[in-house]
Amino acid sequence: MRSVFVFNEENNLKVLVYITLKSSVLDPQGKAIEKTLADIGFTGVEEVRQGKYIELEISENNSEKAKSKAEEMCQKLLANTVIENYRIDIGS
């Protein structure tokens, strides 16, 4: 009888993508939050900007490759590069 060991390596990398409006673009959501924070008593809060935060897993174990794949996703789908910037972090 032979024993077969399956080496079940997890090959996924977690990718974190932060998408923010460019600073020249008006952010009405951010302004609404800023005003509401002031209304409920939080003083001294400025420059509120709301963006998107996307987590995903890529079946890739090379973090450079995962990053360039995520960059392509941002360019093609996740971000509107006319008005938005994006930043990519690779987790584990």
Q: Which of 22, 42, 89, 91 binds a copy of itself (CB under 8 A)?
A: 42
Pair 15, 74: CB distance under 8 Å: no
Rg (CA), the chain: 20
For a copy of itself, which is the closer residue by CB, 3 or 44?
A: 44
Identify the CA nearest to 89 among candidates 29, 26, 14, 20.
14
Q: Which of 51, 67, 84, 90 binds a copy of itself (CB under 8 A)?
A: 51
**The residue to which tokens 């939050």 are assigned:** 33
What are residue 71's phi and psi, to 5 degrees?
Answer: -60, -40
Q: Does 57 sit near a copy of itself (CB under 8 A)?
A: yes
Q: Which of 9, 77, 82, 92 binds a copy of itself (CB under 8 A)?
A: 77
For a copy of itself, which is the closer residue by CB, 2 or 41?
A: 41
